[in-house]
Amino acid sequence: MRVDGQAVAWLVAISFQLGVLKVSLGIALLGLLTSTVFLALVLSATVRFKRKSRAYVRLAASTDQQSLPPVSIFKPVHGMEARLEDNLRSFFEQDYPEFAIFIGARTPEDPAMTIARKLQAEYPHVKSHLIFSGPPEWPNAKVFTLDKMMAQSRTEYIVTSDSDVRVGRDFLRNVIPPLLDRKLGLVTCLYVGDPAADFWSRLEALGMSVEMPSGVVVADMLEGIRFALGPAVAFRRDSLQAIGGIAATADYYSDDYVLGEKIWRAGYKVIFSHYFVHHVLTPRPFTRTLGDQLRWMKSTRHSRPWGHIGTGLTFAMPFAFLGLVAGYALGRPELAWGLFAVGYLNRVIQSLGVGWGLLKDRQAISLCWLYPLRDLQGFAVWVASYLSHDFHWRGERYTFTDEGRIIPRDRKSQHEVPA
């Protein structure tokens, strides 16, 4: 009996394709299972976080105003940003007994200094200082500026905050009281994404209000807080000195994460406040948004390499699309749409449960239908984070080392910068 070679090849190809489709369907089922387990953890951790936060709410309300210590606020800036004036103004308007603001830049000619000087004139009763660090001598330019600012302050209680952060007048009254406990070394804050009017800004802000806090509350529940988030960090000088000063974070892009981790390793407790700040976004093209997200994702990859690998199993929409395609190709459209619906609803529930249920971000309700797209975008950025070690930050190019440190690649040395 003669066997037709073409027929055999055809049968082999069909069998291979069926095998690939079945494996794809299996991967889709596994991914939807792990992302659903993650969702369950997120919702449980959110309830726990809210319950824990009540103690800090009561503490802030019951702390006597006379017992609140003087505070130094450090705001490094670099160049003009949309909404910068409102962001800085929110710190000048703090309802707090005694505080001073230090605004730092590389040079007096930095455009952001125009805003700083204007606010100094508007709020003469607020102690404020402009500090100029000169060209950075450390890999992390922001940390270099922070070090110069801290050298000009003598207060024991310190707050650092990025230039794109806006807070309420009661910010200091809420984040400082826990630090009166000497066993606690650092307080940091979750943040709500505050978008500009463009689509990509809204999508990025949605991720800030849902994706980031989801990971934080789960980490808090499973292992406790061992890190900080840069938008708003409060700590005491003794906990900073215990790690060798702010210079201990100078070689890292994720200086906030490293600061919290080192203070935790020094034996202090690290917590997230019940108080949420606003991470203010500006209008930006898609490429800029993607570049920022990729930089943050690469930073996480190097800060928490094993946790970053596991992050791939927390996304839902990539597996939902894989299930849709594989299900249809296998002639099972009901299963295909069923898997897609599971993934889609998974992310909608996450947006509602975390973005609104925890942070009270209204866009997490109005745009909950859009969050699945942000989840898909996040997965694509996660994959891309493994493709290189390089990133761009404030007009300069850097490279991550395997240990998570950063190396400036095209920064001019201090001797090369014109006076």
The CATH number covering residue 187 comes to: 3.90.550.10
Q: Is residue 52 part of a domain?
A: no
Same domain, 83 and 28: no
Q: Is residue 85 part of a domain?
A: yes
Q: Measure the CA–CA gap between 234 and 179, rounded to whole angstroms.
A: 8
Nearest CA-CA partner of 346 in 35, 104, 52: 35
DSSP-derived letter for residue 405 is: B
Same domain, 176 and 29: no
Residue 291 tokens read as: 């570049």
pLDDT at 180: 97
Q: Is residue 168 part of a domain?
A: yes
Same domain, 242 and 271: yes
List, in sequence order, every beta strand (DSSP E) within 195-341. Answer: 232-236, 269-272, 277-280
Residue that finishes a domain, picked among 253, 285, 317:
285
Query: Which residues constitute the domain of residue 374?
Result: 22-46+304-408
Q: Count the Cβ atoms, other than its own, within 10 Å of residue 68.
A: 18
Same domain, 264 and 138: yes
Residue that finishes a domain, picked among 250, 285, 320:
285
CA 265 to chain centre: 21
Q: Measure the CA–CA gap between 8 and 205, rounded to whole angstroms.
A: 54
In tens digits, the chain (419 residues) has pLDDT values of: 455 666 656 665 666 576 677 888 999 999 999 999 999 999 999 999 999 999 999 999 999 988 999 999 999 999 998 899 999 999 999 999 999 999 999 999 999 999 999 999 999 999 999 999 999 999 999 999 999 999 999 999 999 999 999 999 999 999 999 999 999 999 999 999 999 888 999 999 999 999 999 999 999 999 999 999 999 999 999 999 999 999 999 999 999 999 999 999 999 999 999 999 999 998 878 888 888 888 889 888 888 888 889 999 999 999 999 999 999 888 899 999 999 999 999 999 999 999 999 999 999 999 999 999 999 999 999 999 999 888 887 778 899 987 788 989 877 544 333 32
Q: Measure the CA–CA gap between 415 and 419, rounded to whole angstroms.
A: 9
Same domain, 42 and 63: no
Same domain, 117 and 175: yes
Domain count, the chain: 2
pLDDT at 300: 87
Same domain, 360 and 219: no
Beta bridge partners of 101: 73, 128
pLDDT at 11: 60
Q: Is 395 exposed, middle or buried (0-12, 13-18, 19+ CB in 10 A)?
A: exposed
Q: Are 273 and 170 in contact (CB under 8 A)?
A: no
pLDDT at 13: 62
Q: Is residue 415 part of a domain?
A: no
pLDDT at 409: 84
Same domain, 251 and 340: no
Q: Model-level pTM? A: 0.90
Same domain, 77 and 39: no
Q: Measure the CA–CA gap between 319 and 309, rounded to whole angstroms.
A: 16
Q: Is residue 271 part of a domain?
A: yes
Q: Measure the CA–CA gap between 346 and 38, rounded to whole angstroms.
A: 10
Q: Is residue 122 part of a domain?
A: yes
Q: Measure the CA–CA gap between 82 and 133, rounded to whole angstroms.
A: 23
Same domain, 161 and 234: yes
Q: Is residue 4 part of a domain?
A: no
Nearest CA-CA partner of 272 in 23, 49, 110, 40: 49
Same domain, 28 and 137: no
Q: Measure the CA–CA gap between 45 and 284, rounded to whole angstroms.
A: 33
Same domain, 239 and 191: yes
Q: Is residue 53 part of a domain?
A: no
Q: Measure the CA–CA gap between 55 and 178, rounded to whole angstroms.
A: 10
